[in-house]
Structure 1
Amino acid sequence: MRSEVPQNSANPSSDYGHATNYASIMNLTPQQIHESVRPFAEWEGGPFAHLTGLEIPQPNAAHGFNFSANGHLFDDLLSAEVYCDSLTGISGRGEGQDPIVADLVTAGSLRFSGKAGESTVEPGQICIRDTNMPWKFSCAPGTRIRVVTVPRPLLVSRIGSAKVFNHAYVADVKTPEVRFLTNFLEVVERSSADLDRSTSARNLALSACTALFSEILSQHPDATLSDYPQTALEVARNVIEKNLERSDLSPVVVAHMAGVSLRTLQRSFAESNDSIMAFVRRNRLQRAHDDLIRLGSAARVSEIAARWHFSDASHFIRTFKSAYGASPAAYLRAYGNPGAQAQVSTHSEGEAPAGA
């Protein structure tokens, strides 16, 4: 189900708490800002309900105000890409049901101040805070954020003490635990259709995200991953699939990009009766196959082999034939490519078709 949001509305049309796709849009002209008594009233009751006392500061209001949030809302877990113009207010109402919020800034900046001190979150940083504790905040014009919210009671019960939330947690996105969190959120978003159909899958995603937050705050991320080997596996697979063209893709590189230890990575694959590099090779072969079909008679085996890091064209042909039962040229002819004689050469024009 896709949330369709009218202009100047900050509330998705889908039922809060059940939608898969979440979208919220607000475009206000200077006149609308001036005439509206409560321009943010429609946020009440939604995932941004913990924001109160909102104001668009002058002179920024003279240029209008734009806000958009696009992402996924699974029960009480929100993950959304947010764009926001200059805005000030209070994050947190001092109520137990307000969420734990993580803001990963990619452009602009956020400033928070409260009893626990002040924090400035710049691009490339993440801030995790408890909105049960009110924070004054200001958002710079043109700020872009990945916002993640999880239910406070779940996180407090897992950690066992609310003292860890006495201060805002600010960290660089390059830290392993934050890298793993961002990769995990990508997996969640890619699995949105499955999560929409399965309550148990949604509960697992919420539980895993809550566990990651708790271990980020306690700075022991690998302790959580041992409880969620499938989560670590899916994160690693997602990282591999995004980086198949890298020539240096190795278990050490994958572990670094995923934000896990090499031992955790190897254990996760072992429990699935697979290996890291076997998964890499299968996916590279699949990409090579897709290139072959897409290019048709214009395909050159040597170029495809080089792109997907086979040692040479002959190695690619042998691997392809073992997997698909025919050489690339024969496979392309059998696939029904017009012309019957697929001109798939290994090096240059005039050579014999590969696998002939």
Structure 2
Amino acid sequence: MSSRPRFLGPSDQVGTFTAETDSTGTGRGTWESFIDTWNDRMGDLYPLPEFSASTVDGFQGKVRSVTLRDTAVNELWGSSPVSTQSVWTHEHDHIRLYVGLRGAMTLRDPHDQGGDAYVSAGTYFMHHVVTENHFHTTPEIGNRIFMFPGDALRSLVAGKPRAGRATSPAAQILMAHTSMVQRTVSDLSPVAAHASRNALLELAKGLVLDHFDDHEPTFTPALAQAAKDLADARLTDAGLSPAAIAAHLHVSVRTLQRAFTSLDESFSAYIRRRRLEEAAAALTAPGSRLTVSEAAARWHFTDSSHFIRAFKKHYQATPAQFARRPT
């Protein structure tokens, strides 16, 4: 089992802390130490419910919290169910957004829902939390849980919880920005942390409104990252192009190109590089029988000669020479 949760960052509630069981452990110590750290750091803003004994004693997985002052993102990956035992009766005033990544979570009768809310992989649910509700998850669970101050989103969500697909353009931009925050939070300056927090809030508003301001410079890195994520999932797709990704994200090609102007390469160059990298990995995989012409076709180069020239320019070796290199 891992040691106590690690906290990185200054004392103004910007940073991250995690808890993770090892391959042989389950986790009273892991779970309780994470909850203790949460209560020390964020408990006054966002009190947690009491969790069931089976959750505490049998927890297997990882929890990671990223905090940006009055905003938090908790990411849970577990191979054991998580459920509440009791909930507090005092009033809350914050917005909670659940995004399903694996398995499912059931929220029992949120006060503004009129019945249970069910968050499965690829869906989201956002509501105004006034009183805490019970919840339980499937044994295999992956979830991002965002906590926002009530003032920021109450007018959009209070009395009208929102649910939808996490594949919508606004959701993908929000998730891309969140991933960047998770990667960089320990290195953020106070100004950058404040900007990241504000971008999270504005993108959450965009999720509710199904629209975000694609001319807002704050969102440019998130737009570029969302485009990269989509491209990475479609590298063998013949229809992959800047125009296709722009249409998927509901922005113009020009807006998408503008998002890459501050980076080292254009979006078209990014697609080409990633295709070459995937081709190189496949050609050198143990036992690979992939031919150069097959690789060119799979990653949609015009022909073998075109593929070989692009490959040699990138790797300073032909595909055949590269495949013969010692590993």
Partner of 1:172: 165
> What is the deviation of 1:291?
4.7
Partner of 2:199: 208
Helix, strand or coil at the partner of 1:109: strand
| Equivalent of 2:268 in 246, 265, 277 | 277
Helix, strand or coil at the partner of 1:238: helix
Q: Which amino acid aligns with 1:304?
A: A
Instruction: In structure 1, list runs of 5 or more residues that go unmatched.
Output: 7-11, 30-35, 339-356
Q: Say what the alpha-carbon RMSD is for the aligned residues.
A: 4.2
Partners of 2:89 and 2:165 in 1: CA distance? 23
In the alignment, is the contact (CA less than 8 A) between 1:88 and 1:139 conserved in 2?
A: no
* 1:99-140 Cα distance to aligned partner (Å, 9 max, x none): 532112332332243543434123143112233x11322324
Helix, strand or coil at the partner of 2:7: coil
Partners of 1:163 and 1:135 in 2: CA distance? 20
Partner of 1:121: 118
Identity %: 18
| Equivalent of 1:308 in 292, 299, 306 | 299
> What is the deviation of 1:212?
0.7
Partners of 2:62 and 2:105 in 1: CA distance? 17
**140 and 300 in structure 1: CA distance in 2 versus 1, 3 angstrom threshold:** closer
What is the correspondence of 1:42-191 to structure 2 with a 5 Å cutoff? 44-47=39-42, 50-54=46-50, 56=52, 65-66=58-59, 68-76=61-69, 77-83=72-78, 84-90=81-87, 93-95=90-92, 99-105=94-100, 106-118=102-114, 119-123=116-120, 124-131=122-129, 133-142=130-139, 144-152=141-149, 156=152, 162=155, 164-189=157-182
* 1:57-111 Cα distance to aligned partner (Å, 9 max, x none): xxx9599643644335143432412444332443785355xx5321123323322
Partner of 1:260: 249
In the alignment, is the contact (CA less than 8 A) between 1:102 and 1:127 conserved in 2?
A: yes
Partners of 2:300 and 2:90 in 1: CA distance? 54
Partners of 2:224 and 2:236 in 1: CA distance? 20
Partner of 2:219: 228
**281 and 62 in structure 1: CA distance in 2 versus 1, 3 angstrom threshold:** closer
Partners of 1:329 and 1:141 in 2: CA distance? 48
- 2:195 pairs with 1:197: no
**311 and 296 in structure 1: CA distance in 2 versus 1, 3 angstrom threshold:** farther
TM-score scaled by length of structure 2: 0.72
Helix, strand or coil at the partner of 1:206: helix
> Aligned pair count?
305
